[in-house]
Chain A
């Protein structure tokens, strides 16, 4: 007799699901929540805190989109995905967008039929070793045992790097960052490799972070960014320009503290006005209302604020802005103009 629950649930799910074939924006609005794919847990980027509330740099992007579209940064359903499940989750529509430190590559953009909406973190793959090992350069790692997360571009970069430098290594494949951390700390591998930001985040969670160094070599380009399904251009625009709004806001000096004040009336800067919807009708053009950017910004703050709050130098993760500074400050963060 218990099969009925199952069938009942199935019918219910079918009825809910039946409506999901329309455009993503309508789905999200109808559902009232944004389904956002994140990692299973990487402190600083996306991890649940002690109360189960997701926090982090990638999480902030999801919250900003939710605030822009739904008006509520908390109406986000975070779907933890592994390297293996993330693309299927997005392709099957289980999530509306993926904000899971995913590297923008040619084949992912074209062959896997996704669209990267931009770059929220310019990263590169690095190595972390215990200080006691006495290694100062990745070139000295010949013969080392390397812990590596499977299903990521890091795996391919690693193979390329060692082959190019004619070195041997012993890969120890691991599924999640948590496992990598355990293996590395237990000494089951000499070095742990992943994106430099991820290394910093992982190191921050160690008991004695100072006993580990991140080697200077960065062996790859890893532009990380949110992505959406290919083909739904309206939704893609919304996610893209929400990200750009965060970046532009920093450039224009709009913060979560002053956004309400600036949005109250017209300012001297026309671009600020356009961004905050007091001038022009940019919101309308992407299918939202005029206040969309105001909501996003007051929910999470501008790019700089998000960075400082989650992964910046004052946090345990302690990443410098580096490449991720605004273009005017010597970085390569450059948002197209709001016009």
Chain B
């Protein structure tokens, strides 16, 4: 009824709704709204009829029922008697784990590759260009499958580690690269380990504070304090002292071959590694391009000005170019993070139990609740991406304020 909210003039004619630009927009909006409502009603009616015909209903009750299946990577307590809801949460956590690891690695890779692409070294430049083009132009699914294949088909099975003159041996006696994943030593947190951890956290703050203080001193008085070794000392010495004072509460649990598999230690599964590396390398190639574009966006005059002040290339990069380039780099960087998170749903191709694998995979299959599961799945990803968009908007606002 949008058209009628605006009381027509005395001279209003119906044809004005089409011909008069003042009213035309109301007509259009009315039509659009009606079409939308009609479409929704049509789809909704179909849904209701279809469900009624098949005697089904929309209900989320299945989430409270025992899932009945097991998940290999469990960040929280979970077994086959836990509910579908808990299985979904395990999936969500697994998604976040791989997304976090992927974003971290991709950033490091991307920044290194992006900076090296502008290196004066011809060979390195070309190599990096090769990396970027190769990974940007091939689907990430193929990369995931290739890395997964390396994991399963090339690395030895745990059996190869058996016996005295085994075919394969562990790296430093503590890392085992098998086709079921990588086994690394895991820390055991004994009593008193909390003190050590807290000391270490405190040292981090101490080191940061020291660096701030030194910078301030430099700016205020021109007195130059050494930065490097004191930070290292602050960072590690107290923790190491406390570690020995408390009687070495933290020890390492080494993986050892027992039964079918390696036992103990930390097991990073092949599926996680394939997904993590593939996403990181793939997204890294895109980030490299963003970084390169960001650095190139800083005008050459800035570099020259800094050089004429006598700054060394490292300092030019750190103090002049990167701070300016970051403003250009960060928005696309965040959207790359978002892409990586969304691409992590390809976990299903290698059997990594992320939320698509649990909620959108096994739970959907076992309960047959397709609509509910897909709906929840979409909601999850939508929440994440809206949250990231919100962060991005805040960031964008904060840098616009600084602009003159």
Chain A interface residues toward B at CB < 8 A: 83-84, 87-88, 91, 108, 111-113, 132-133, 141-145, 150-152, 155-156, 158-160, 162-163, 169-175, 182-183, 186-190, 229-231
Contact = CB atoms under 8 A, between A and B. Distances in A.
B362 A173 contact: yes
Given A170-B261, A186-B179, A187-B157, A151 B365 contact: yes
A158 B353 CA distance: 17
A84 B365 contact: yes
B260 A145 contact: yes
B210 interface: no
Contacts of A87: 368
Contacts of A188: 151-152, 157, 179-180, 270
Interface residues of B, number: 40
A187 B261 contact: no
Contact of A170 (B72, B79, B348, B361): B72
Nearest to B349: A175
Contacts of A183: 152
Contact of A231 (B53, B68, B159): B53
Given A113-B55, A143-B259, A83 B365 contact: yes
Contacts of A91: 54
A113 B54 contact: yes
Contacts of A156: 68-69, 80, 366
Given A143-B263, A174-B351, A159 B54 contact: no
B250 interface: no
Nearest to B68: A156
Contacts of A151: 361-362, 364-366
Nearest to A179: B351
Contacts, number: 106
Given A113-B56, A187-B157, 9 more contacts: A108-B368, A151-B366, A160-B80, A169-B70, A170-B261, A172-B271, A173-B351, A173-B361, A188-B152
B118 to A, nearest CB: 40
Given A143-B259, A170-B261, A175 B364 contact: no
Given A159-B68, A171-B72, A173-B362, A145 B180 contact: yes
B370 interface: yes
B357 interface: yes
A158 B68 CA distance: 9
Interface centre among A132, A156, A162, A231 (most CB of B within 10 A): A156
Interface string B147-185: 000011100111100000000000000000001100000
22 contacts: A108-B368, A141-B260, A143-B258, A143-B260, A150-B361, A150-B362, A151-B361, A155-B68, A159-B68, A159-B69, A159-B80, A163-B80, A170-B261, A172-B351, A174-B351, A186-B153, A187-B156, A187-B158, A187-B179, A188-B151, A188-B152, A188-B179
Nearest to A159: B80
Given A150-B362, A151-B361, A173 B353 contact: yes
Nearest to B370: A88
Contacts of B261: 143-145, 170, 190
A84 B260 contact: no
Given A143-B260, A145-B180, A151-B361, A175 B351 contact: yes
Contact of A155 (B69, B81, B151, B368): B69
B71 interface: yes
Interface string B63-81: 0000011111000000111
Smallest CB-CB A-B distances: 9 pairs: A187-B157, A151-B365, A159-B80, A143-B259, A173-B351, A156-B68, A188-B152, A144-B260, A188-B179
Interface in B305-323: none
A146 to B, nearest CB: 9
A91 B47 CA distance: 13
A280 B71 CA distance: 57
A175 B360 CA distance: 13
A188 B148 CA distance: 11
Contact of A182 (B152, B259, B348): B152
B157 A172 contact: no
B159 A187 contact: yes
A171 B180 contact: no
B270 A84 contact: no
B365 A190 contact: no
Contacts of B54: 91, 113, 229-230
B362 A155 contact: yes
A150 B362 CA distance: 6
Contacts of A141: 260
Interface centre among B70, B71, B81, B361 (most CB of A within 10 A): B70
B70 A171 contact: yes
A125 to B, nearest CB: 14
Nearest to B56: A113
A156 B87 CA distance: 14
B72 A172 contact: yes
Interface in B66-117: 68-72, 79-81
Interface centre among B80, B156, B271 (most CB of A within 10 A): B80
B257 to A, nearest CB: 11
Contacts of A175: 348-349, 351
A73 to B, nearest CB: 30
Contacts of A113: 54-56
A112 B370 CA distance: 11
Interface centre among A108, A143, A144, A186 (most CB of B within 10 A): A186
Interface string B372-404: 000000000000000000000000000000000
A171 B71 contact: yes
B180 A111 contact: no
Contacts of B70: 158-159, 162, 169, 171
Contacts of B158: 187
Interface centre among A112, A133, A152, A188 (most CB of B within 10 A): A188
